[in-house]
Amino acid sequence: MFEISRVALGDLTFDVRVAGPDDGPPLVLLHGFPETGRSWEPAGRLLADAGLRVIVPDQRGYSPGARPTEVSAYTVGELVGDVLGLLDSFGIEAAHVAGHDFGAVVGWHLAAHHPDRVRTLTAVSVPHPGAYSWALQHDADQKSRSAYIKLFRMEGTAESALLDNGARRLRAMYNPMPDRAAVDEYVRVLTVPGAMTAALNWYRALTRDFRSIPSVKVPTTYVWSTADVAVGRAGAERCGEFTEADYDFVVLDDVSHWIPEEQPAALAESIRARIAG
């Protein structure tokens, strides 16, 4: 069972789910958009039962106490800094890290720039930013899949598109996610005034620094699913070119973008296998 802690990092306070033995190997799980740490609970319980100390923050913009208003507060560097601060607050020198969707982006940057703090990385859905950037430039399929990002960067317009009519379009984004209780939780969080803008600010703060990061030199697993509507095969298959340590590419056939909710057991097993080396 997860317990909710509140962790103060400077002026911000993060809601953090924690489970597993206090002396277990630490594992930080990072959620994506438009989710919360709730997305990791099914896989996280399995990993905690396997003896890991599982730490799952509601990240910047998703925790009510960590919701600054300016776009510049949501750069990837700030998001990585939050994870480093979280590790420090728990007294952790280095942790295993897994991230899904935009949480994978944070994981890639963390591992690339702070390899001393990351024991292993499991990236879910989104490949290394270098591979993703290549696909955006050279693969027509990925360009089409990523068209939504232009909308997300449009202040006001994106909020209205997702939240109007009882958040109908936001709810539609989660299909075919099987956990409807999770969907209700995500919608509840993101319909609080200011929350959707904060979540979308992750996209609005993107710069070229998002793409231009070094190869990762920690043991890495990348998990991709063939029915992902947001990430195509071209970037996924190129991901390994941006890793310089032991690397595994796990493909889940006929699974949607929502891997943590749809296939928690398979995902937990991939993370455990990476940690075991």
The residues that are catalytic are 101, 203, 257
Look at residues 125, 116, 105, 122 and name the one whose alpha carbon lies nearest to residue 219.
Answer: 122
> First and final CA of the chain: distance in angstroms?
27
Contact by Cβ (8 Å): 125, 230: yes
Tokens of 28: 């930080």
Instruction: Please list, in sequence order, all residues whose beta carbon lies within 8 angstroms of the beta carbon of residue 25, skipping any fewer than 6 positions away.
Output: 51, 52, 53, 96, 119, 275
Q: What DSSP string describes 240-270?
A: GGGB-S-EEEEEETT--S-HHHH-HHHHHHH
Contact by Cβ (8 Å): 260, 252: no
Dist CA 96 CA 25 (whole Å): 8
Dist CA 54 CA 109 (whole Å): 20
Dist CA 243 CA 92 (whole Å): 24
Instruction: Please list, in sequence order, all residues whose beta carbon lies within 8 angstroms of the beta carbon of residue 38, skipping any fewer than 6 positions away.
Output: 17, 31, 182, 185, 186
